[in-house]
Structure 1
């Protein structure tokens, strides 16, 4: 995945959250913080949000907040996984290309 595609994908995710007509329970500042999180932190906080929802006992507003936080964290984690997948795909393509040329005159040029 090209850097431009990755940046556009992240921008689309952030824009989708902002253009939603439904009242949000997560502030822009919180969304910005999530957008900067490393994968492990997003994953760990997503687990906490899911556990809070599974435990129950939250009122409707608190449940919606946990849900929205979980959605934002899941999107961040998926974005980062997609970045890694793109890099792995590029590396595999380069390795396959290098393997095709190994031991040939074109490899020396």
Structure 2
């Protein structure tokens, strides 16, 4: 999460996140949820953010899989 000048944490838009950033923030969200001690409203907000971050990670991983499949397909010799 990014911080404002006052030190307040602000979530970046998920569209601006790379895989590693989304994964690291998702790990932090899960850690905070597992630790407990948050209000119901904060827990729900964390859960929603976690869902968004998981979608970003899935998008990056799906794209990587497509690129790998394409690369492997071009390396496979065809029989004549």
**Does 32-41 or 64-73 show the bigger shift?**
32-41
What is the CA-CA distance between 1:35 and the residue it aligns to? 1.7
* Residue of 13, 18, 26 corresponding to 1:38: 18
Unaligned runs of 5+ in 1: 1-29, 105-109
Equivalent residue, structure 1, for 2:43: 63
Larger strand percent = 2
Give the aligned partner of residue 100 of structure 1: 78
Once the two structures are superposed, residues 17-36 of structure 1 have per-residue CA deviations (whole angstroms, 9 ceiling, x without a partner) of: xxxxxxxxxxxxx5x71122
Larger relative contact order, structure 1 or 2 (CA cutoff 8 Å, min sep 6): 1
Q: Deviations over 1:9-64 (max 9, x none)?
A: xxxxxxxxxxxxxxxxxxxxx5x711220000000000000001000000100000
Residue correspondences, number: 70
For 1:58 and 1:41, the matched residues in 2 are separated by: 23
Moved over 6 A (4+): none
TM-score for both structures, normalised by structure 1? 0.60
- Structure with the largest fraction of helix: 1
The structure that has the greater radius of gyration is: 1
Structure 2 residue runs of 5 or longer lacking an equivalent are: 1-10
TM-score (norm. length: structure 2): 0.80
- Structure 1 distance, partners of 2:16, 2:66, is 19
